Structure 1
Amino acid sequence: MKKAALALALALPLLLFAFKPAFAHNEAEVGDIRIVGGWGIEPPLIGQLNTIVIQVTSISTGDPVTNAFANANVVVKKGGVQKALELTPAEEAGWYEAEIIPTQLGQYAIAFSGRIGTQQVNTQIELEDVEDTKRLNFPEGGDSNQGIPEDFVDQMRQVITGLTVQVENANTSAQNASDAAASAAQSAGETRSAADRAYLVGLVGIGVGVAGIAIAAVALSKKA
């Protein structure tokens, strides 16, 4: 009997440790409603897809509350910014989840307002701080060229430099061609103006000649 009691005493701490909650979730109680919330993946890391998970139960009965947020609003908050959560029921009754990618380090919170069942709620739950991915990086990142041969980087730089020079030369050629076209257009305009003036002078000359012939004909007719 003593051996059995001793074995139980030794095993009890192990049993308690085994049933310790795996997630660092926080909770809030409002009337007969208990709300537990936290990250689905912990620790939460910046820029990594995660979920916010929420459990809603009745304190008096311990039963899960289904369709808990039919008449309640749930938002995730970071500082003065907030976003409505699109919660969907999880496989286990009373649990709800929403996907999210945290984009800033630090603490987030879930705020509840409205009515859960017959209970009015206006409370919030703080979430575990979002951490930098460097905490779990392995091996630690080096310079930005890590894993890329240095000669390849140099070749790419040379190619880019060559392309840049070609683009600049092409721009210069295009500008020269544009200037030449403009000059040609101006010369053509000047030539046309000169031709127009010569044409007018010719017409005047023809007119003067015709007039002279007419005068001469009149004079001859009078002598006759």
Structure 2
Amino acid sequence: MSIVGIITIVVLAVTIAVPLSWAHTTVTVSPYDIEVGWGLEPPVVGVRNTFVFHVTEPGENPGVKTGIINAFHGMTATANYGGITKTLEIISDQRPGFYFSDVIPTKTGTVSVTLEGELNGVQVNVDVSIEDVESTALLDFPPLDISSDQNVRALEAAVTSMQSDIEQLRSGSDPVTDTTSYNFAVLGLSLGVAAVVLSVLALIRRPSKLTQ
């Protein structure tokens, strides 16, 4: 056998022997093991994902587990974020013992799943912490231009200031001698607001150059 063939066999053996690392959490409610986690890791805000569950019991042979079908017949799963909760709609996978529930994370932070009810006559009441939801910065490319936020804040400040000036004219706190002058003053300030809005929007929409 060639050296290339031997190396290929070794690589395949190592790949099979070392399972993929998932940040899932397993809890035991004897005699059952319930594994909970995300279908897509790491979970990112705004990216469609799933809560995944794997419910098993010891098989006939040592080290072999058997998937439990209809595990959620008498058991519910509730997602928790802070004080917000949502009862999950559990869907059975084609593989025995596997279940999932679709979700789109909307905020970064810690999420847990509470399992309650009965599993084949065994009472279940556990809260399972899973991997934290990350911001899109983890995957963003090219990175977002932070100057856009600064431009928006500048726009808001300019518009607020000009609106204040217009209100002063209308209220009479900044007196104008005649109606015509008043109208021109309001028109001038309004045009100023429009000009600032257009200029800042142009800055926001202009693509920034990435650092070489």
TM-score class, shorter: 0.5 to 0.7
Root-mean-square deviation (CA), in Å?
2.8
- Specify whether residues 139 and 18 from structure 1 end up closer, same or farther in structure 2 by C-alpha distance, changes over 3 A only: farther
1:68 equivalent to 2:76? Answer no
Q: Gaps spanning 5+ residues in structure 1: where?
A: 1-6, 146-157, 163-224
- Specify whether residues 92 and 131 from structure 1 end up closer, same or farther in structure 2 by C-alpha distance, changes over 3 A only: same
1:88 equivalent to 2:91? Answer yes
- Counting only pairs closer than 5 Å after superposition, residues 129-140 of structure 1 correspond to structure 2 as 129-140=132-143
TM-score normalised per structure 2 = 0.59
**1:13 to partner: Cα distance:** 11
1:94 maps to a residue whose letter is G
Q: Gaps spanning 5+ residues in structure 2: where?
A: 1-5, 150-190, 196-212
**1:103 to partner: Cα distance:** 1.5
Q: Residue in 2 aligned with 1:104? A: 107
SS in structure 1 of the partner of residue 14 of structure 2: helix
1:117 equivalent to 2:120? Answer yes
**Runs of 4+ more than 3 Å apart:** 11-14
Identity between Structure 1 and Structure 2 (%): 31
| C-alpha distance in structure 2 between counterparts of 1:121 and 1:33, whole Å | 10
| C-alpha distance in structure 1 between counterparts of 2:143 and 2:19, whole Å | 32
**1:19 to partner: Cα distance:** 2.7
Number of aligned positions between the proteins: 143
**1:63 to partner: Cα distance:** 1.1
**1:14 to partner: Cα distance:** 6.5
1:114-160 CA distances to partner (integer Å, 9 max, x unpaired)?
10112111112111010010111111111449xxxxxxxxxxxx8x9
- Specify whether residues 107 and 17 from structure 1 end up closer, same or farther in structure 2 by C-alpha distance, changes over 3 A only: farther
**1:161 to partner: Cα distance:** 3.9
SS in structure 1 of the partner of residue 67 of structure 2: coil
Which has the higher mean CA deviation after the structures are superposed, 16-25 or 115-124? 16-25
Q: Residue in 2 aligned with 1:33? A: 32
CA contact (8 A) 1:28 1:124 kept: no
| C-alpha distance in structure 2 between counterparts of 1:88 and 1:50, whole Å | 14
TM-score normalised per structure 1 = 0.57
SS in structure 2 of the partner of residue 63 of structure 1: strand
SS in structure 2 of the partner of residue 41 of structure 1: coil
**1:90 to partner: Cα distance:** 1.2
**1:12 to partner: Cα distance:** 9.1
